[in-house]
Amino acid sequence: MEKEYTIEELVEDFSETAEKVTALLKEKNYTEVKKIATELPAPDIAEIYAEIPIELETLFFRLLPKELAAETFVEMDTDEQRRLIESFTDVQLSEILSELYIDDTVDIIEEMPATIVKRILRYTTKEDRAMINTILHYPKDSADTVMTTEYVRFTAAMTVGEALAHIRRVAIDKETIYTCYVTDKNRHLCGIVTARQLLLSDPETTISDIMDEAVISVNTHDDKEEVALLLERYGFLAMPVVDNENRLVGIITVDDAIEVIKEESEEDFAKMAAITPTDEPYLKTGVMSIFKARVPWLLLLMVSSTVSSAILAGFEAVLPAVLVLFVPMIMGTGGNSGGQSSVTVTRSISLSELEFSDILRVLWKELRVGILCAVALGVVTFAKVQLIDGMLLGNAAIDPTVSFVVALSLSFTIIVAKIIGAALPLVAKKIGLDPAVMASPLITTLVDAISLIIYLVCASNIMNI
């Protein structure tokens, strides 16, 4: 009996499709498996692949058409790739490798154990091997780590017709044919032509007449996040990458740029929550890996809170016990105020909206915001302590002086916290540290200690202790 598979049904629930595939594989009904597989795009096949039993993996993979198999391979996680490579014969390995783009091969090599890397390198062509070696030695986070060398290149003297013929010849190996690059005989980048322009121009026109000479390019050493943001800013489908002599060496395509933007913001989320960033999805990360990413920061912050404890010890010795009740509130509000500023400033730095040279404008802005917040929260706090903590909860030790000391300390804490929260990420950036690491929790620890000192000073002055 003939069955029809529609993509809507197959992607509705991947676990269901995986079960169906597993059953068909066990029944040796390979024709049906192939039919299902050819309906689906590679990322979905990888999703299904992840859910079928390990002993059927290799069999399933071999049923995929060659090109789809390579695309699916790129989408798999490291363990699945490793198991497959181990199962490959030498012929199969070199077949898959010949289907991959260089940048994908490099991504895979970076995650594999040494023995497998050796095997992969043995089955790549000499040229590719040289290229892979070069890419592997690029500095971390630089533009060249995400670029591809597989782009379409014209000379200015070509006609549009010749250019189109050239595209037809080379397209199969190129990541994009929609933005093409015009170079001179020394490979200097001198213009850009889009496929749209080619399609709309007369075949007799020469490329030099239609190319856009105002080329925006980036350097191989530029930071990959800045490059991704530039590509987004200009709405490009690809960004050309040149070396120090303005020679075109590669392009960064929009899909890689999105990935960089996503990865970098996820890294910032992790750092701001005091976690060492990893790029595995949560459900696929093991308990030990999560533990290792989190525990050093908890330990560091726990130990650094010794400062607050020590100040509090001095505090308890001289001040009335009632003031201690408001320590969590003052510390908490200080932490939240500082966190607001530091997260805002850190993200603005990441998005290239702020630089160290803006520090005075930033501090002036935060000072004014801080004063406004301080006044608003000061007034409300005075009322709250008097009415809720004093009258409603019936704490007899609270009088207007206590409420005033609490409110005033809170106000000063807010202003100081906002200034520290805004300044630290900028200073970190300046001295080459990571602004995101300076954000939230580390600033909180610092603000905790400072807020206690402010509280202590206000109380001892106003209460004449």
Q: Which of residues 73-102 bind its own copies (CB under 8 A)?
A: none
> Binding of its own copies at residue 340 (CB under 8 A)?
yes
Q: At CB < 8 A and 24+ separation, what contacts does 263-270 make?
A: 264/225, 264/228, 264/350, 265/350, 267/436, 268/346, 268/347, 268/350, 268/436
Residues 20-59 as x/- pattern, contact with its own copies by CB under 8 A: -------------------xxx-x----------------
> Binding of its own copies at residue 144 (CB under 8 A)?
no
> Binding of its own copies at residue 225 (CB under 8 A)?
no
Q: Single out the residue of 245, 263, 280, 282 nearest to residue 145, CA to CA.
A: 263
Phi, psi of 194 (to 5 degrees): -95, 160
Point out which span in 28-36, 60-68, 100-108, 349-357 binds its own copies (CB under 8 A).
Answer: 349-357
Q: Considering only residues 94, 219, 336, 460, which one is a binding residue for its own copies as defined by CB under 8 A? A: 336
Point out which span in 88-96, 114-122, 123-131, 440-448 binds its own copies (CB under 8 A).
Answer: 440-448
> Binding of its own copies at residue 324 (CB under 8 A)?
yes
> Binding of its own copies at residue 221 (CB under 8 A)?
no
Taking the complex as a whole, the smallest distance from the CB of residue 423 to its own copies amounts, in Å, to 14
Closer residue to its own copies, CB minimum distance, 118 or 430: 430
Edge-to-edge strands of the sheet including 248-253?
Answer: 218-219, 238-242, 248-253
Point out which span in 50-58, 116-124, 147-155, 386-394 binds its own copies (CB under 8 A).
Answer: 386-394
Helix axes 224-234, 254-272, angle to 10 degrees: 120
C-alpha to C-alpha distance for 134 and 132, rounded to whole angstroms: 5
Residues in region 244-263 near its own copies by CB under 8 A: 254-255, 257-259, 261-262
CB 276 within 8 A of CB 296: yes
Q: Which pair of structure tokens corresponds to residue 111?
A: 């995650």
Taking the complex as a whole, the smallest distance from the CB of residue 215 to its own copies amounts, in Å, to 7
Half-sphere exposure of 338 (CA within 13 A, CB side): 32
Taking the complex as a whole, the smallest distance from the CB of residue 376 to its own copies amounts, in Å, to 5
Closer residue to its own copies, CB minimum distance, 369 or 419: 369
> Binding of its own copies at residue 302 (CB under 8 A)?
yes
Biggest distance spanned by C-alpha atoms of the chain: 94
Closer residue to its own copies, CB minimum distance, 121 or 270: 270
CB 167 within 8 A of CB 152: yes
Taking the complex as a whole, the smallest distance from the CB of residue 353 to its own copies amounts, in Å, to 5
Closer residue to its own copies, CB minimum distance, 56 or 275: 275
> Binding of its own copies at residue 7 (CB under 8 A)?
yes
Q: Considering only residues 23, 130, 136, 372, which one is a binding residue for its own copies as defined by CB under 8 A? A: 372
Residues 179-218 as x/- pattern, contact with its own copies by CB under 8 A: ----------------xx--xx-------------xxx--
> Binding of its own copies at residue 299 (CB under 8 A)?
yes
Closer residue to its own copies, CB minimum distance, 83 or 384: 384
> Binding of its own copies at residue 429 (CB under 8 A)?
no
Q: Single out the residue of 92, 103, 98, 106 nearest to residue 64, CA to CA.
A: 92
> Binding of its own copies at residue 391 (CB under 8 A)?
no
> Binding of its own copies at residue 381 (CB under 8 A)?
yes
C-alpha to C-alpha distance for 352 and 115, rounded to whole angstroms: 41
Q: Considering only residues 171, 318, 457, 465, which one is a binding residue for its own copies as defined by CB under 8 A? A: 171
Sign of CA dihedral 80, 83, 88, 90: positive
